[in-house]
């Protein structure tokens, strides 16, 4: 079975030459976080590392370092259990998801690299650059949280060395236990961010394809060709939605449940809450909400891009209709009529690079059109295409629900309210 499907790390890809280095770096990160599932032995090692860092270490750290009688108030950890459970549950979901994808797809097929050679050189280079940016995003999102976690753990072990239980030599025991806890925290958050950024990377390829697709309205293209290309993109978006819908929905429910549990704990009567005791609670809340934000933003961005095609096609249709001229009784249109049609097209304001267009996601809707090319396409064909696009909107869906900006605003408002409320109770913002 492994020979037929390959592994996320070892599947042969048909990527462009420009993406070889980025793909190698991305594969190295996968190997570090995900270890390797290319054969049975490496798969056992991978699951062993996951079980050790995501399950064993958090359980042992709670019981081995529990000091209700010897530790003072500053070194007690009343919120240690919900923090560890939240991280472990999200890491388990992420690891099981990526393991399931590994059994079905290789890196080439999963990241749509197997057909990337059929795309234009601009798409290949853009996707290669985005792979490199993904590695930077991992550091940008994960490194600050890890530094904060390191500072807290080092302070906790150093300042409470005389109170915290130790085994054997006090310094050796503290160093080993602290290193294991930090490794466990880094591993669990890295696995979660990995799946979120994989989703973002895959969505970016479809955005590049949508940008390329928008240029067909500037050329003399058959409606059938436009329709087939749109059907291909809708199929890709359905594939992405099917692969990630379980993970997106589960992450949303788990993060929301964690936020609610955190709030119930810090708002209950006589709750002992301050930055020292609940700082780790606020940190894990920021981490989980950040990962969820990456997921939802990637989904809504590509959905908005896909739905902008409808507005672009409508603009293309009306521009062609306004500037069309009928060849009445077989007469050939005069040069004056042609010049008049071009003048009308030139006088229509489609937006320029100097205009304040706002969000970059609206670039498709501001594409400059050349309606003179649409004279060879009949009105009925154009109208049929626009009607099709209006009734077949593409985008990322979760069990039939389209993840557009309306859903993003609602979900983000709820998550932000919970997170800010938690920060107000823990940090005093």
Instruction: Pick the range with the lowest mean pLDDT from 75-89, 215-229, 231-245.
Output: 215-229
- Is 385 contained in some domain? no
pLDDT at 101: 86
How far is Cα 314 from Cα 385, in angstroms, rounded to an integer?
Answer: 9
Domain annotation covers residue 374: no
pLDDT of residue 24: 67
Report the number of distinct structural domains present in the chain: 1
What is the rounded average pLDDT for all residues in the chain? 75
pLDDT tier at 4, thresholds 50, 70, 90: very low
Determine the Cα–Cα distance for residues 139 and 160; give it in Å rounded to an integer.
30
Task: Identify whether 295 is part of a domain.
Answer: yes
Any domain includes 209: yes
Transcribe 327-393 into DSSP letters: -GGGPPPPHHHHHHHHHHHHHS----TTS---SGGGTGGG----GGGGGGS-HHHHHHHHHHHHHS-
Question: Residue 167: in which H helix or E strand, if any?
Answer: none
Task: Please report whether residue 166 resides in a domain.
Answer: yes
321-356 residue pLDDT tens: 776 544 434 444 444 444 444 444 444 443 433 444
What long-range pairs does 85-88 form, CB within 8 A, spacing at least 24?
Answer: 86/254, 86/258, 86/261, 86/284, 86/288, 87/58, 87/185, 87/188, 87/189, 87/284, 87/287, 88/54, 88/55, 88/58, 88/188
CA atoms within 13 A on the CB side of 205: 27
The pLDDT of residue 15 is 40
Q: What is the pLDDT of residue 23?
A: 64
Contact 156, 75 (CB under 8 A): yes
Rounded CA gap, 95 and 36, in Å?
12
pLDDT in tens, 373-425: 445 567 788 888 888 888 877 788 888 778 877 777 777 777 777 777 776 76
Q: With respect to residue 342, please indicate whether it lies within any of the assigned structural domains.
A: no
Helices and strands in the chain, H and E counts: 13, 2
* pLDDT grade for 22, boundaries at 50, 70 and 90: low
Helix, coil or strand: residue 73:
helix
Q: How far apart are the first and last CA of the chain?
A: 54
Is 373 a member of any domain? no
56 pLDDT band (50/70/90 cuts)?
very high
Examine residue 11 and state whether it is found in any structural domain, yes or no: yes
What's residue 351's pLDDT? Answer: 40
Residue 300 has pLDDT above 90, yes or no: no
Predicted confidence band at 269 (pLDDT cuts at 50, 70, 90)?
confident
- Could you tell me the residue range of the domain that residue 230 belongs to? 2-314+394-426
pLDDT band with cut points at 50, 70 and 90 for residue 20: low
| Cβ partners under 8 Å of residue 340, min gap 6 | none
Q: Quick check: 412 and 293 in contact, CB under 8 A?
A: yes
Q: Looking at residue 428, what is its pLDDT?
A: 55
Residue-level pLDDT at 393: 77
Helix, strand, coil percentages, rounded to 5, for the chain: 75, 0, 25
- What are the distances in angstroms from CA 4 to CA 107, 111, 155, 204, 243? 13, 18, 50, 28, 20
Instruction: List the single range of 119-133, 311-325, 385-399 with lowest mean pLDDT.
Output: 311-325
Mean pLDDT on 166-184: 85
pLDDT digits (tens, 9 = 90+) for 191-222: 898 888 889 888 888 888 888 888 877 775 67
């Amino acid at each position: 079975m492994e020979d037929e499907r390959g592994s996320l790390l070892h599947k042969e890809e048909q990527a462009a030459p420009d993406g070889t280095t980025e793909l190698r770096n991305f594969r190295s990160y996968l190997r570090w976080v995900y270890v390797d599932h290319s054969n049975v032995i490496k798969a056992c090692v991978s699951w062993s590392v996951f079980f050790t860092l995501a399950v064993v270490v958090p359980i042992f750290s709670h019981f081995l370092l529990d000091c209700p009688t010897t530790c003072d108030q500053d070194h007690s950890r009343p919120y240690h259990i919900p923090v560890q459970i939240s991280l472990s549950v999200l890491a388990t979901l992420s690891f099981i998801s990526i393991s399931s994808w590994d059994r079905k797809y290789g890196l080439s097929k999963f990241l749509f690299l197997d057909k990337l050679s059929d795309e234009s050189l601009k798409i290949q280079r853009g996707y290669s650059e985005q792979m490199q940016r993904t590695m930077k995003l991992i550091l940008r999102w994960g490194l600050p949280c890890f530094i904060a976690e390191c500072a807290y753990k080092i302070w906790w072990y150093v300042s409470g060395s005389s109170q915290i239980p130790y085994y054997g030599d006090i310094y050796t025991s503290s160093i080993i236990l602290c290193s294991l806890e930090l490794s466990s925290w880094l591993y669990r958050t890295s696995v979660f961010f990995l799946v979120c950024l994989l989703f973002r990377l895959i969505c970016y390829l479809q955005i590049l394809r949508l940008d390329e697709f928008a240029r067909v309205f500037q050329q003399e293209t058959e409606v059938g060709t436009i329709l087939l290309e749109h059907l291909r993109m809708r199929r890709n978006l359905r594939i992405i939605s099917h692969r990630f819908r379980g993970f997106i929905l589960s992450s949303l429910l788990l993060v929301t449940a964690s936020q609610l549990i955190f709030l119930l704990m810090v708002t209950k009567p006589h709750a002992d809450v301050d930055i020292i005791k609940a700082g780790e609670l606020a940190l894990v809340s920021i981490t989980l909400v950040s990962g969820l934000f990456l997921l939802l933003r990637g989904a809504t961005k590509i959905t908005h891009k896909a739905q902008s095609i409808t507005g672009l096609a409508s603009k293309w249709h009306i521009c062609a209709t306004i500037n069309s001229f009928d060849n009445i009784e077989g007469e050939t249109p005069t040069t004056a009529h042609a010049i008049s049609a071009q003048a009308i097209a030139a006088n229509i304001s489609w937006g320029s690079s100097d205009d304040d267009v706002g969000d970059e996601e609206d670039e498709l809707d501001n594409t400059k059109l050349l309606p003179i090319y649409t004279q060879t396409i009949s009105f009925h064909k154009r109208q049929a295409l626009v009607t099709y696009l209006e009734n077949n909107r593409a985008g990322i869906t979760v069990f039939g629900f389209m993840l557009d900006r309306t859903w993003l605003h609602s979900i983000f408002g709820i998550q932000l309210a919970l997170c800010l409320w938690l920060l107000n109770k823990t940090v005093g913002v």
